[in-house]
Structure 1
Amino acid sequence: MSRYYETEGDDLGDDSPSIVAPETPSPVVTPNRPQPKKSSNFATINTLTTSSDEEEGQAYYAGGSEHSGQQVLGPPKKKDIVADMFKSVQEHGVEVLEPGAASSSGGQAFKGTGYKLGQDNTSSEVVPGFQEPPRPQEVTLRLWQNGFSIDDGALREYGDPSNKDFLDSIRRGEIPQELRQGNTEIHLAMEDHRMEQYQKPKTKVKPFQGQGYTLGSPAPAVVGACTNEDKSANEARAKEILKMDATRPTTSLQIRLADGSRLVGQFNQDHTIAQIRQYITAARPQYEMQTFNLLSTYPSKILDDSQTLKEAGLLNAAIMQKLT
């Protein structure tokens, strides 16, 4: 559409109407959205201050003239519970450490017991060392996209009512009640895994603690893991089988077993080597299916099962066990 303008005076020299070109509407401008960056596993000051801005909707410019326009706010993004928790922690004054800030590469000072050397007329003086306070317990809270976990524990959902008190304590910057153990100091480290699904930790390999078999013999010997309680019970049973008579002459005998351990017992002087063998298998059942010899220490010779301790010259002596 053309527009007409009236002018005062004849300076223009032409009474023909002026035609003004129609205004071209400004194009709709959509801001370039930056590419998302990979999330860090540690919360920094920058990530804490910007995470709340990411929750708001994207703003758009909806055209108009050169001097006017309209801003339209897009739909809000899905609420990020992980970002909300980090923000709440910061608002309650909890210190946020940069990655590696807690580690120290410096040497440690000597903290042991010292001695103040004396002079000719004074004795040395012991200077007690510094009593180092107990080390705090380290606990790691990992915040995943679909829940959270404590150390290497199982996944716990954000929406589970049983986890509400725990999460509320974290938001207030407090150590949750379930982590408190008496007067032990707790250091809680929070890790940001909001872009990852929960990953079950790898199972740690434990050393074998069962029973094994010694190969190379017609009847493999069972080698069991024997506790101190088992040893005491077995030795008590061996004494019952031996039936030592305290009214007759007694002697002490030390037996060096094939596994390097020692077995000490009280016997009558007329007990035979065969009865000593029976005592060993009762006190250490792992040798029940194993053939072995009993030897004197010096000079080393195989002992005769039919001899008594007195006849073999083994009063208050030591003998050795040798597997065959």
Structure 2
Amino acid sequence: MREADKLDNMKSQDRVFRSGGQGGQRRRCDSFVNSLFEEAENAGALTASPEDNDSNADVIIKMWKNGFTINDGNLRDYSGAENCYFMDSVRKGELPEELQKTFQKEEISVNFEDRKSEDCSYRKPQINPFSGLGHRLGSATPKIITKDSEKCNELILPVVDLNNLEPLTTIKIWMADGKRIVQKFNISHRISDVRHFLERIPSKSEKVPFIFATSFPLCEIMDETVTIQEANLQKSVLVQKLLKCTETFGKS
């Protein structure tokens, strides 16, 4: 399909948000967002890898029933011309030009949240949630990134034994309670070692069984015996996904 055809198809899907009954609008919105996720996942993750690998940024795109937001910024209409080009890049697994200009010298991790069953009711000024200061205690102790560090009690963080003679990598962990942790591991560490690290961090969900998943495309990690290198998870984002009480929790 030609690029113009893809764009025309996207615009025609966007237009349905402005007309029709609420039930039809909801079904078309679900179809649009599901299609977007599927096409983007097939194309691959949206990442950029410049030379400065130590500098990175998270971009969270929330797909709402009535539009989408970037890093909790202003609500943007799916049907806007500029937004249409943005979403077309997402469909193809490409990094939108808008994000390239905003994060010129940073490695970008683009992650999606499916909120298509909800209306976004707030419109607040764009802020940069990554401009605050983190806290690094020692070379092997992770950095905690919080939206409001002044109101967040400092955690007791475990220490990871690192072998400086072996290659190191940085793993970003999104905890189920909203906290974000950046931790260094050897690439020979297993996913089970990452689990052991996370289980030693006090949290409200510490006794709830969980699995790990990659951020985007969302993919559950079922085999925790593999190493970070074998799973190709260097410099990746891992999401702690809590299991429901009715689900069977299999040990690795």
What TM-score results when the alignment is normalised by the length of structure 1? 0.27
Structure of greater relative contact order (alpha carbons < 8 Å, 6+ residues apart): 2
Higher helix share: 2
Larger of the two Rg values belongs to structure: 1
What TM-score results when the alignment is normalised by the length of structure 2? 0.34
